[in-house]
A and B are shown apart, each in its own frame.
Chain A
Amino acid sequence: MSSAPDTALREIQQRVMEANHTGTALRLCGAGTKDFYGERLEGERLDLRPYRGIVDYEPSELVITARCGTPLSEIESLLAARGQFLAFEPPAFGGDPTIGGVISAGISGPRRPQVGAARDFVLGARLLGATGEELRFGGRVMKNVAGFDVSRLLCGSLGFLGIITEVSLKVLPRPRCEQTLALRLSAQDAVAVFNRWGSLPLPISAAAWADGIAWVRLSGAAPAVRAAAQRIGGDALETQAATQLWNGLRHFTHPFFAAEQIWRVSVPSTATLHEPAQAQKLLIDWGGSIRWYADATMGASVRAFASAAGGTAMCWRGHTGETRFHPLSAGRTEIHRRLKQHFDPNAIFNRGRLLATDGRH
């Protein structure tokens, strides 16, 4: 008798092979917390949640391996019981996403500038391609340079190359001590001090600005956190208030994200700040590298200033006359096209989600 995961995987493979045969578009689904994300949704739903479960976790190896349908909450509570966590702080959007969805979207939380992005923690992945065959890339070890780094390529690929059926992630010990400080600063001054502190050996694990206040989180050994808090100054937040603040930014439940039109501008942390007419329409995260604008009047000009600053602008929510993601160069688009041609020649997977043009001939 075969186990539930085996059956679930076989059913997924069966659906993929049929779809590939008939050229049917499949829309890969987990918990649906990120349905808003990407260019568009197209195709028959393929629910990947039945293929779930933690395959391997040994705290002393700092690695967890789970099937794509495993709920994030299950992974996080298992890690928490052993004093560990996913340091890239993936967003839950007020729901309970699957780990497959987390890695496919590759969105990272407030800790990103200091500890790394989701892709930095991906050690290995299995990819179910259009033929229904599972391919294994990377592994369950910290260092691995055998073959191209396909597992990191899959992170943030939004199903463009196929289904991530299993993923191995590096985990870290939870910091022993955390403290959040609040400083009343203008947005410009906040970006300036975030950059200055970044060049000092301070245990900063997040730096954001909203509503006229700069928030700085310190994480690490107690003496280091204490010393850094003295140096930075400001007012210390109660633990509960700090948790609420960072969870709000991490999971996009902060009131700012209730706006109907939101642009996400990703630029070098030192880029000149483009300030909206009203200060409350701006939120800064990642120590100045991400600037969120809840401003419907910005329109396409946001792309121009992001490009000029050496970055890109994404329409996170709301309407845009163009694509949601910042357009790619012709050279990079061509590389995407060639990769798609091999991995998914009939464009069955998440058609048009990563690239608006994909699947349209």
Chain B
Amino acid sequence: MHANGHPHDSHHEPAWSDPERTLSPAAVSAVVERLRGALPADGVLASQEELRPYECDGLAAFRCPPIAVALPRTEAEVRDVLLTCRALDIPVVARGAGTGLSGGAMPHPCSVVLSLARLNRILGVDPVARTARVQPGVRNLEVSEAAAPYGLYYAPDPSSQIACTIGGNVAENSGGVHCLKYGLTVHNVLGIRGYTIDGEMIELGGGALDGPGLDLLALAIGSEGLLLVVTEVLVKLLPRPPLARVVMASYDDVGKAGEAVAAIIAAGIIPAGLEMMDRKATAAVEPFVKAGYDLSAAAILLAEADGTADEVTEEIQEIERVLRNAGATAIAVSGSERERLRFWSGRKNAFPAAGRVSPDYYCMDGTIPRKNVGHVLKAIEAMEERYGLRCMNVFHAGDGNLHPLILFDANRSGEWDRADHFGAEILELCVQLGGTITGEHGVGIEKINSMCVQFSPAERAAFFAIKNAFDPHGLLNPGKAIPTLRRCAEYGKMHIRHGALPHPDLPRF
């Protein structure tokens, strides 16, 4: 064993990861006072009713008020907030629009929420270089709107794109329905500028396509606010395809629909979007959106082709042929932009529809190798019976990214717990099949226990070491994304199965 730097050392685990730590009222007042000195009068929120909207993000089941919210307008003010919190040893939770689905922006009880919402300017669109320089509080869709006059757009399109911010997209490495062809945030961001907790400005990537040293840009994207606070983002813009059309196909068996997805890929086609919904999902959305879905089908597929008119015509024919050979019971092709949007409307409204048919729903985000889609859907059916809860399934079939929506009623005793365990079991199955617990929503606070299933103690120690390299004091979004050894040990105890501990290699204390 080595004196220093052994990956099993837990000394990198930051103190603030412990949610039990508290602050005295006097300490809280001192923080608020210092922040008021650093920011204009409307830049600090500290009363109970002002803090309430910041208690949670899009994952409303997890809530906690912060001690204050800082709303800087400039980079210099962001830096001042960071330096203030660093000087007082106070955790900082960065926040965009609060649309995240994994609780990544849920405050730590002793934290200051650093809202980037007021850094909301598009600093420039360069149509020749095909880039846009934006502040983190700019909404995703705004970027494409600003680029539209030049025939360009920003490709990643998470379903919340009307509201979610680019800063949040960078933190989560957000995807969308088009990422099989156009990539995730990591593939579409060229550079970022941000600040460390010590107030040091750091620039990663930029207008050039590469540079020396480790690719810290790739590391920072998807780091869930644990490494630095981003104040500027340089995104890549793409020429907007002149045309898009979508094929809708019905299958009488979910397994067959899964095989049809594989057949499209095997035929050498990368559709712009490739989505699947099961019967429970189509039945839930159809009464509300009247998308024209085949309610007799066990599953439907939506496959989109985009490009020039010639390209689209050829690809649509090819997709139709493959889907038919894979046993489609019905096929429809959008004949107009209006019809294309109608086909998509059901898929895009699946989450709201779940909210209409059930008082509450819990959205999962596991990813699996595509070939296992049918297997997982059947396993989920069995779990529905076991947990006594319904689950409707929509997913980014092209990426193997599942979004099972577990329906429950939080007012009925025990239902949330059952939903929570149901979800954890789905994620464990995803890991078993060679997949992951989160494809695009992030770990946040929600899936932190499932991280114990996916990663070994040495792997988690490596994550803490990376955090430590950027944030040695452990003040940025502590307690999120990486579970401590202690947390995993406790989770392991709750999940003793078949009389054996799931992680026999884990140190216990």
Contacts and interface: CB of A to CB of B under 8 A. Distances in A.
B468 interface: yes
Interface residues of B, number: 103
B105 interface: no
Interface in B375-393: none
Interface stretch (A4-12, A27-35, A68-76, A194-202): A194-202
Contact count band on A? 35 or more
Given A153-B215, A331-B202, A146 B180 contact: no
Nearest to A202: B239
A300 interface: no
A199 B222 CA distance: 28
Given A312-B211, A342-B5, A147 B219 contact: no
Contact of A332 (B2, B207, B213, B308): B213
Contact of B222 (A59, A148, A222, A286): A148
Interface stretch (A40-48, A92-100, A261-269): A261-269
Interface string B131-170: 1000000000000000000111000000000000000000
B34 interface: no
A223 B314 contact: yes
Nearest to B460: A147
Interface stretch (B245-253, B293-301, B437-445): B437-445
Contact of B218 (A62, A131, A136, A149): A149
A53 interface: no
Interface in A198-224: 198-203, 220-224
A359 to B, nearest CB: 15
B208 interface: yes
A148 B220 CA distance: 8
Chain A contact residues: over half helix, strand or loop, or mixed?
loop
A335 B268 contact: no
A144 interface: yes
A336 interface: yes
Interface in A53-106: 58-63, 83-84, 106
B367 A341 contact: no
Given A153-B215, A311-B207, A345-B5, A143 B151 contact: no
B230 to A, nearest CB: 15
Contact of B239 (A199, A224, A345): A199
Nearest to B466: A148
Contact of B369 (A61, A161, A336): A61
A176 interface: yes
B187 A195 contact: no
A147 B219 CA distance: 10
A309 to B, nearest CB: 8
A292 interface: no
Contacts of B150: 199
A15 interface: no
Interface stretch (B58-66, B84-92, B339-347, B394-402): B394-402
Contact of B183 (A112, A116, A148): A116
Most buried by B among A62, A113, A199: A199
Given A119-B218, A136-B459, A335-B216, A143 B371 contact: no
Nearest to B196: A331
B187 A116 contact: yes
Contacts of B308: 201, 223-224, 227
A129 interface: yes
Contacts of B221: 149
Given A60-B371, A173-B268, A201-B241, A142 B399 contact: yes
7 contacts: A129-B458, A136-B459, A146-B443, A157-B214, A268-B129, A270-B128, A329-B202
Given A312-B208, A354-B213, 8 more contacts: A59-B265, A143-B440, A145-B443, A152-B215, A172-B270, A200-B151, A312-B212, A336-B213
Interface of A: 20, 58-63, 83-84, 106, 108, 112-113, 116-117, 119-120, 129, 131, 133, 135-137, 139-150, 152-153, 155-157, 160-161, 172-174, 176, 195-196, 198-203, 220-224, 227, 266-271, 286, 289-290, 310-312, 314, 325-329, 331-332, 335-336, 338-339, 341-343, 345-346, 354-355
